[in-house]
Amino acid sequence: MLRIVVRPLSQAALAGASTPTYAGQGECIPWVYFDTISYNSAGTAGPLAFFQTVQSDKTLGNIDQGGQLPAGYYFQINSFQLDWFGLPSNQTAAAATTAPVGSGNDLFILFFTARALFQFVISSKLYVQVPATYLHASGYPVVVTAGAYAAATQDQFVGNSYPDGDYYVGNNIVIPPQQAFSASLIFAGANAISATTNIRIGMAGALTRRVL
């Protein structure tokens, strides 16, 4: 649900919030850092290390420096998200004893066969270590289908749980400037899936930086 907070401010207060009155004056804004890595169809033993490389394609990631924040930047993490970019799949219906193939089964393999484990580290200190099932999607398409089928089919439209606030840490983890940090997914071996699929890790929180 979209929430817009409206706070009436005087012109002087608005000017003070947007124009620095002293060197290095800070501002704090809502922010999301995210990064995307592919899980290979042949299987990935991992770990997949996120936020370590600056993405030239900003739709895949928006970190400014590989593995650290710039000087003067502090990030208070409110929550972590995991988005699974599995495509909708359509398969000819199979016998009940045949394992389903498609995006839903792929996600099951990632979470329960590969037992994906999420870890977050700052300066070699472990802050988060939880099964990846604790991280939910930031959002996904809602799909409705209807039609006449010439043969029985199996349709899969899958999202990684509900966009319900994700793995909440309540701004209690702070990434300081120019300190090494990483988010990673670790798997129990290389488990094959039906198609190479992108995984996106997000961190929502409050970013403090210089006003200008």
pLDDT greater than 80 at residue 137? yes
Q: Give dist(CA 204, CA 80) in Å, integer.
A: 6
pTM: predicted TM-score of the whole model, two decimal places: 0.84
- Domain annotation covers residue 146: no
Question: Structural domain tally of the chain?
Answer: 1
Q: What is the pLDDT of residue 200?
A: 96
Q: What percent of the chain has pLDDT over 70?
A: 80
Instruction: Give a yes or no: residue 89 inside a domain.
Output: yes
> What is the mean pLDDT of the segment spanning 126-131?
97
Q: Are residues 100 and 108 in contact, defined by beta-carbon separation less than 8 angstroms? A: no
Which two tokens mark 139? 């959002």
* 169-199 pLDDT tens trace: 999 999 999 999 999 999 998 999 988 999 9
Q: Would you say residue 34 lies in a domain?
A: yes
44: which 2 tokens? Answer: 């990935």
CATH of the domain at 185: 2.60.120
